[in-house]
Structures are given as structure tokens and as C-alpha cells.
Amino acid sequence: MTGHTPEADAYRDDRAHVFHSWSAQRALDPVVVTGGLGSTFWDAEGTRYLDFSSQLVNLNLGHQHPKVVAAIQEQAATLCTIAPSFANPTRSEAARLIAEVAPGDLSHVFFTNGGTEANEHAVKMARLTTGRHKVLAAYRSYHGATTGSITLTGDPRRWANEPAMPGVVRFFGPYPYRSSFHSDSAEQETQRALQHLEEVFTFEGPHTIAAVILETVVGTNGILVPPPGYLAGVRELCDKHGVLLICDEVMSGFGRCGEWFAVDRWDVVPDLITFAKGVNSGYVPLGGVILGEKVYETFAERPFPGGLTYSGHPLACAAAIATIEVMRDERIPERVRDLGERVVGPRLEKLRDRHPSVGEVRGLGLFWAIELVRDRDTREMLVPYNASGAAAKPMADVIAACKARGVWPFTHFNRVHVVPPLVVTEEELLQGIDAIDDALDAADAYVA
């Protein structure tokens, strides 16, 4: 990009001064994005992309939703910021609305700036409530990038950050397609996964365990929908031993799975829910912890030793209020559930039948994964676990083919995730899946 246009200057300044996350800096060649609307965004050359990644699976109401933009503008004209120690109408209303859609007795909200801080504070609350120090976390998981949350994370992004927070113990969650328990059915996977978790409890000493943290539906690490009975079994196991259950709904919450919170699908009430992303579509950074009475009472008479300068920021809370109101008025969770069952699931099954590189499709709502393999019989992954460089070329080919067809995909390891904004039209949804369908010809070329 040459010349002195604003876009060219943006690229030069980025390369000279912006330090990007999860990246080798000199290898980067970022796209300069100049605008977006609904489920589409465009670059400096005017190339338009259907946003099938919802940016980082946070843009639930799409780009530039007028009601959310207007709410931020109105709040900015009234009061841009206020310290967390004050009561404020916008913060109070956001907390009430979140509590109204939360399950069970989860009626208190601690606001953070994002998901990783929410998980850090939820663990702190659990440890102080129980007086115990260990936290059980799954291998296939992502909980954030700050010191505690990256320790809770199971995927390879944790490795370079170790050693970090003490007291984290790892376990295997259910994954019927690649069962760690050699199960041959979803029911058996539930039974064996719960048996495994109970053994971890036994060997670690239940009296030392403060909490189990899990993603209700595992996000980046596979869109792993828990098999029937699993979440209820974890809840029962926690109750048996006085352990708190933390459900990380940073990615799966606020309509993404066709429910306000994914746990609603299984009628399970955790002790703590962490949220971020979809609560206000990422327009202004916001996250938080929703806690029930048991945890709340721990700090009714003693101070909670935690806090953030921008906790409950008015601009972020105004965006959350508008987002929740839009989701209620337009019945977004119900719409997402319908699209998942009627459109996405059946269409991805047809895609699987057509492509030998597709080992499995799975998901719910607008939260789906297409798992790519070299061999359906052996289930060898299209690219090795944590592949990079030349080893990752098959997935790079698929990504390039998607972008060439005007779709910006979300991919991780050997998977393409279907996670568009929740306001995506049915026509756009089919357009995006059709583009992925065409792009998977590139994966088929590597099938044994």
C-alpha cells in the first residue's frame, strides 16, 4: 500500500508502531479495514467480506448496529466515565438486565473489561468462598491471556507462559469424535468422562478443590457440545464435594447457542458465570462475573479483594443495555436456535457428504465447527496438532480459498468454524456456507 492516503498511512503506522497479539511482528501483513455494516466489512481497496468469524466471535449484533451506536453516543453526551465506587443509572440497569436473563439465583454482577479478567475474578471468588486453592480446568479450553486465565487454558498458548498461577489441575472433557475414553456412543462418553473427573477429584483430594471451570460449549478448541447428562453430572459432582462450578460463557453466551446462556439448554445452574464478547457485541470492552447467593454472601460482610478502574464503564454498559434490548425485541436467541436447527445443521451435513476431508460437523445455534481430516477412517487431522509453517499449509489453502470467495473465516488447528453475527440473514448464511463448501475442495486435495 503506497502513497499518502489515510489507509496507506494507517498501514505504515501499524507496521511501525502497533504490537500485535499472538504474532511474530515482522511476519504480519494486516488488512486495513475501513468500514463494516451488519454481517459485512470491507478493506481499503473496497473488497467486501462476509464476516463468518464475527471478528473474534464477539460481534453478535453485527457491525454498526444503529441502536447500539446511538446508545453509546447518548451516554457519551451525558457521562463518559465514573469510578466503580459510585452508583450510576447505566451501570445499574445493565446489571439488572443481565441478572434478569441469567439462570437460577445468579442475580449479582461484577463487571470487568473482558473475559480473561472475568475468569481471573471468578477463580478468586471461588477460592475465597471455599477456603480451598485448587481449580480443575480442561485440556481443550481457552479462558484468556492474563496470568491466571492462561494457566486455566488448556491449549498450546499456555506453554510459553508457564510457570504461572499455582493450583490448576487439568482434566479431559468429553469429545465423542476423538474420545480420550475410547467411547463408542455419546452416552458412554458422558459416563466415562464423569468417571474420569471423579477420579481426578479423588486423587487431588476434594477438600482441596475450590472450583471446576469449564466452557459450557468449548469454543475456539473445537465447538464441543457437551453430550447429554454431562453438565448435570459435573454439577452433581461439585455439589457432592462442596466445589463451585464456574461456567465460562464468554463466547457461548448472549444468544450464540440459541439461548441467553448456553447452560439454559441443559437446565444447569452454575455458581458463577463469566461473560464478555456478545454482551454488547464488543463495541466497548465489557465482561463480568454473574454470581449467586452463596458466593455473594461470602462478601456481604467482608470486603472482596479485587477491582478494576473501569469496572462497569458507562459507555460499555450503555452498549450492553441496547444489545440486550435488541436481542429481546427481535427475539434473537429464538431466531438463532431456528437457524441452527433448520439451516446450518442440515446444510453442513450435506457439505460433509460431499467432501471426504470433512470428518465431522457439530454445533448448535450459530456456533458450529467443521472438522477436517486426511482420512475419515483413521480420523487423522488435516494438519497436525498446533501445526505451523509448511505443516499448516492445507489449512492455509482453505483459508485463502474462503477469502477469495468473499468470506472471512474463523479457523483453529484443523477446523473451520461457522460463527457469523447473530443478525446474519438467511441468504447471507447460505452464501457463506456455499463459499466454505467450494473452499473445501482445497482440503479434499490432501485426503489420502
The arithmetic mean of pLDDT across residues 171-181, rounded, is: 97
The arithmetic mean of pLDDT across residues 136-154, rounded, is: 97
What is the model's pLDDT at position 448? 85
User: What are the CA-CA distances from residue 144 to residues 118, 119, 175, 183, 276 (Å)?
Assistant: 9, 8, 21, 30, 11
What is the model's pLDDT at position 198? 98
Cα–Cα distance measured from residue 136 to residue 361, given in angstroms and rounded to the nearest whole number: 28
What is the model's pLDDT at position 6? 87
Q: How confident is the model at residue 137 (pLDDT cuts 50, 70, 90)?
A: very high
User: What are the CA-CA distances from residue 379 to residues 178, 376, 389, 437 (Å)?
Assistant: 8, 5, 22, 20
Predicted confidence (pLDDT) at residue 92 exceeds the cutoff of 90: yes
The arithmetic mean of pLDDT across residues 408-432, rounded, is: 98
Predicted confidence (pLDDT) at residue 1 exceeds the cutoff of 70: no
pLDDT tens digit string along 29-76?
Answer: 999 999 999 999 999 999 999 999 999 999 999 999 999 999 999 999
What is the model's pLDDT at position 2? 64
Percent of the chain with pLDDT over 70: 100
Q: What is the mean pLDDT of the chain?
A: 97
What is the model's pLDDT at position 164? 87
pLDDT tens digit string along 316-341?
Answer: 999 999 999 999 999 999 999 999 99
What is the model's pLDDT at position 364? 98
What is the model's pLDDT at position 438? 98
Continuous H helices in 59-141: 66-78, 89-101, 115-130
- The set of residues, in sequence order, having a beta carbon less than 8 Å from that of 319 and lying 6+ positions away, is 68, 71, 72, 280, 281, 283, 284, 286
Predicted confidence (pLDDT) at residue 270 exceeds the cutoff of 80: yes
Q: How confident is the model at residue 396 (pLDDT cuts 50, 70, 90)?
A: very high
Percent of the chain with pLDDT over 90: 98
